[in-house]
């Protein structure tokens, strides 16, 4: 049965699968130019923390929808949607990225998510509705002709009052085919969050239960985490960017500073967060 724990862990898996779906749609050397209309559907599963900072992991199935309509890219990552409003020509060496982002955050929103009694004693959180946008630039032919380097920056703010704060995420990714059918992507990103985010997900009030963690308060905004992902995809079809493909992804995130020092992480969880995902996608 679906519950909020499933949704929380699923967000990580959905995001990882979406990166894989995007990679499966990348052109390789000698392939035809990208089409103006396309669609990729991905399905797989992975191992992810039950919530941010948790030391408990579980298996989570997930999926993704990613495509292009009349040259405009879109990505549906579980409960998130990204739309790129800039159309780049097929022969352009520079890709510009600009568009809106909308997402839901199911972070500790249900008691069934919280197996650790110390975290359960802190109660649940409301669902966050985060709206914003992202901007970026990509350079084709970085180091070698088929490779590309992309810088992007996403900003979202909670408009539902769950944490009533923002998340700013800069990132960089190096992508390249390693053969006619195999693609690799290495990405690094960091999250800078507002004070409300820290208070909502990492602060601990004065204990009211024997099992509750000790009181703790974050101070202001700051860099919450830094992480990296390595993705490999393999096209199973004879036609580039068409048909079936396989993917595997490994990810690591390290919680930083005042967020890693929270008893929610240091005492009840782990600052080192890992992710592993594998699955299959179909493009047409």
Calculate the average pLDDT of the chain: 85
Q: Is 71 helix (H, G, I), strand (E, B) or coil?
A: coil
Q: What is the pLDDT of residues 162-182, one digit of tens each?
A: 999 999 999 999 999 988 888
Identify the pLDDT of residue 40.
85
Identify the pLDDT of residue 8.
45
Phi and psi, residue 85, nearest 5°: -90, 5
Query: Which residues lie below 8 Å from residue 154, measured CB to CB, with a gap of 6+?
Result: 101, 132, 133, 134, 167, 168, 169, 171
Among the listed residues 43, 48, 80, the one whose alpha carbon sits nearest the alpha carbon of residue 63 = 43
Please determine, for residue 12, whether its predicted confidence score (pLDDT) is greater than 50.
no
Domains of the chain from N-terminus onward? 4-283 (2.40.160.40)
Element (H, E) at 16: helix 4-24
Q: What is the pLDDT of residues 176-203, one digit of tens each?
A: 998 888 889 999 999 999 999 999 999 9
């Amino acid at each position: 049965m679906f519950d909020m724990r499933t949704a929380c862990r699923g967000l990580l898996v959905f995001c990882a699968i979406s990166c894989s779906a995007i990679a499966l749609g990348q052109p390789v050397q000698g392939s035809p130019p990208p089409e103006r209309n396309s669609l990729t559907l991905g399905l797989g599963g992975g191992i992810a923390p039950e919530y941010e900072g948790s030391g408990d992991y579980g298996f989570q199935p997930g999926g993704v929808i990613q495509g292009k309509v009349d040259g405009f890219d879109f990505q549906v990552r579980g409960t998130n949607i990204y739309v790129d409003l800039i159309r780049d020509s097929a022969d352009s060496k520079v890709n510009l990225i600009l568009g809106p982002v909308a997402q839901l955050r199911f972070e500790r929103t249900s008691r069934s998510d919280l197996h650790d009694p110390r975290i359960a004693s802190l109660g649940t959180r409301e669902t966050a509705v985060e709206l914003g946008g992202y901007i970026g630039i990509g350079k084709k032919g970085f180091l070698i002709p088929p490779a590309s380097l992309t810088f992007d920056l996403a900003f979202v703010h909670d408009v539902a009052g769950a944490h009533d704060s923002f998340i700013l995420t800069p990132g960089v990714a190096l992508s390249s085919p390693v053969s006619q059918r195999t693609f690799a992507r290495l990405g690094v990103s960091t999250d800078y969050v507002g004070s409300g985010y820290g208070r909502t997900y990492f602060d601990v009030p004065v204990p009211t239960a024997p099992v509750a963690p000790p009181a703790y308060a974050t101070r202001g905004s700051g860099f919450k985490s830094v992480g990296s992902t390595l993705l490999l995809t393999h096209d199973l079809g004879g036609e580039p960017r068409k048909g079936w493909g396989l993917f595997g992804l490994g990810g690591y995130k390290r919680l930083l500073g005042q967020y890693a020092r929270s008893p929610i992480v240091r005492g009840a969880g782990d600052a080192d967060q890992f992710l592993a995902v594998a699955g299959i996608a179909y493009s047409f």
